[in-house]
């Protein structure tokens, strides 16, 4: 029986190997944009839902207001998602004419909804004046040429949607370094999938699309009952009509930085939230990929448990072989991604993080399907 199990793990690894080579080729084939040109014709609306972000919202506002792109050519719309802290008060202290504050509570009836963030973005877009919509999160910051580079790319290529890089800041804490590495891996897959027209991933912390295409596909209509997926599920709707007009903007200038979850529990909550939308994907090409990744990691998890319980040399040897192969192919994929994000020095930690990565992948995948998660005081299914 164990020999069959090991053989199945071997077959899964072959599939996993081919998948990561596919992603690596996709990532390195994206032309990296260099330099910033001065484009000032497009009016941009930056939409930011914010819930209990009193510790972060000022940094975001300062970051956006310090852009090289003219203030007369963009607006910042912050939607306060029923915050119970000083978020709204802090925003009001910024008297810039291009900053708007909207209270989500003004648009809700007494009935609870499941997708507050989608509702906030939808309201923000309705109140916007921009041709180009850019979404980001309240705990993010960006470089001074962020807007200038995005507009240049938009005016040059005229895409319907632009997916852009995000990175997680980190200190010397284990959980933060792990998140930074793990998220960098997801970012590499994101860029590769967009480049290969797979349209499997994107991140609402750094996403741009035209207001016209948002309205054309009906916004979040049809997916507004799903708590998560304001980015990816919208992407799938746009890809149905404009599969060739979604691009990944690979430029260091447009990297958005965000803060890590500060506890293991918060990290798992975040990953469970992300995993929970997997079954809602309309692009069914993603299902075999997700199943391959999940079951390969599940096989390694079972092997790890057997090695710890039975202590048989054969099981230990097979586990060591497979985890070494997994680490090797992932490092081959990750190296060019880490080079782009300037995080090659973190790669030496990657082998150390492997057991935790296997455990979290299995648990987050399972709980994303069958469990619930908590997001800023709200329990969501």
- Determine the 3-state secondary structure of 47 from DSSP: strand
pLDDT of 225 reads 73
CA dihedral 186, 189, 195, 201 (to 10 degrees): -50
| Contact between residue 259 and residue 139 where contact means Cβ atoms under 8 Å apart | yes
CATH dotted code for 33-277 = 3.90.550.10
For position 314, what pLDDT does the model report?
85
Q: How many CB atoms lie within 10 A of CB 251?
A: 22
Q: Provide the residue ranges of all domains of the chain, joining segments of one domain with +.
A: 2-26+285-374, 33-277
Beta bridge partners of 248: 163
Tokens linked to 210? 């035209």
Residues of the chain with pLDDT under 50: none
Q: Give the dihedral sign, CA 200/205/206/212.
A: positive
Q: What is the pTM of this model?
A: 0.90
Q: What is the pLDDT of residues 165-187, one digit of tens each?
A: 999 999 888 889 999 999 999 99
Contacts of range 323-332, beta carbons closer than 8 Å, 24 or more positions apart: 323/354, 323/355, 323/358, 325/13, 325/17, 326/13, 326/16, 326/296, 326/300, 326/354, 327/351, 327/354, 329/16, 329/17, 329/20, 329/21, 330/20, 330/185, 332/20, 332/21, 332/24
At residue 258, what are phi and psi to the nearest 5 degrees?
-130, 165
Angle at 166 between CA 217 and CA 233, to 5 degrees: 25
Residue 358: DSSP 8-state: H
Q: How far is CA 95 from CA 49, 98, 99, 322, in A?
A: 19, 9, 7, 58
Q: Give the model's pLDDT for residue 381.
A: 53
Calpha distance 315→317 (Å, rounded)? 5
pLDDT value for 15: 96
Nearest to 337 by CA among 198, 195, 183: 183
Pull the structure tokens for residue 329.
């192919």
DSSP string, 151-179: HHHHHHH--SEEE--EEE---S-HHHHHH
pLDDT at site 188: 96
Please report the pLDDT score of residue 307 as a whole number.
85
């Amino acid at each position: 029986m164990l020999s069959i199990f090991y053989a199945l793990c071997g077959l899964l690894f072959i599939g996993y190997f081919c998948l990561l080579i596919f992603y690596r080729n996709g990532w390195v084939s994206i032309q990296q944009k260099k330099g910033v040109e001065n484009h000032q014709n497009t009016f941009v609306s930056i939409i930011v839902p914010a819930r209990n972000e009193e510790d972060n919202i000022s940094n975001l506002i300062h970051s956006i207001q310090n852009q090289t792109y003219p203030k007369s050519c963009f607006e910042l719309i912050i939607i306060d998602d029923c915050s119970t802290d000083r978020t709204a008060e802090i925003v009001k202290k910024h008297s810039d004419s291009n900053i708007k504050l909207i209270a989500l509570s003004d648009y809700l009836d007494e009935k609870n909804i499941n997708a507050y963030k989608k509702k906030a973005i939808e309201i923000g877009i309705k109140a916007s004046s921009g041709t180009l919509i850019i979404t980001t999160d309240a705990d993010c910051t960006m470089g001074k040429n962020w807007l200038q580079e995005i507009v240049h790319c938009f005016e040059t290529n005229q895409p319907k949607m632009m997916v852009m890089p995000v990175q997680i800041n980190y200190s010397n804490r284990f959980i933060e370094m792990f998140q930074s590495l793990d998220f960098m891996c997801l970012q590499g897959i994101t860029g590769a999938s967009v480049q290969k027209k797979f349209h499997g991933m994107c991140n609402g912390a750094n996403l741009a699309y035209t207001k016209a295409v948002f309205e054309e596909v009906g916004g979040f209509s049809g997916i507004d009952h799903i708590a998560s997926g304001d980015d990816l599920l919208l992407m799938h709707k746009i890809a149905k009509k404009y599969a060739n007009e979604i691009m990944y903007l690979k430029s260091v200038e447009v990297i958005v930085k965000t803060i890590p979850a500060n506890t293991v529990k918060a990290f798992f909550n975040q990953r469970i939230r992300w995993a929970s939308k997997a079954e809602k994907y309309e692009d069914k090409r993603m299902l075999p990929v997700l199943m391959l990744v999940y079951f390969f990691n599940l096989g390694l998890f079972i092997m790890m448990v057997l090695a710890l319980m039975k202590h048989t040399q054969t099981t230990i040897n097979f586990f060591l072989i497979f985890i070494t192969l997994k680490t090797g192919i992932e490092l081959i994929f990750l190296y060019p991604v880490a080079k782009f994000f300037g995080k090659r020095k973190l790669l030496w930690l990657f082998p150390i993080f492997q057991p935790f990565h296997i455990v979290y992948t299995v648990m987050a995948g399972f709980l994303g399907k069958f469990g619930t998660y908590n997001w800023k005081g709200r329990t969501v299914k």
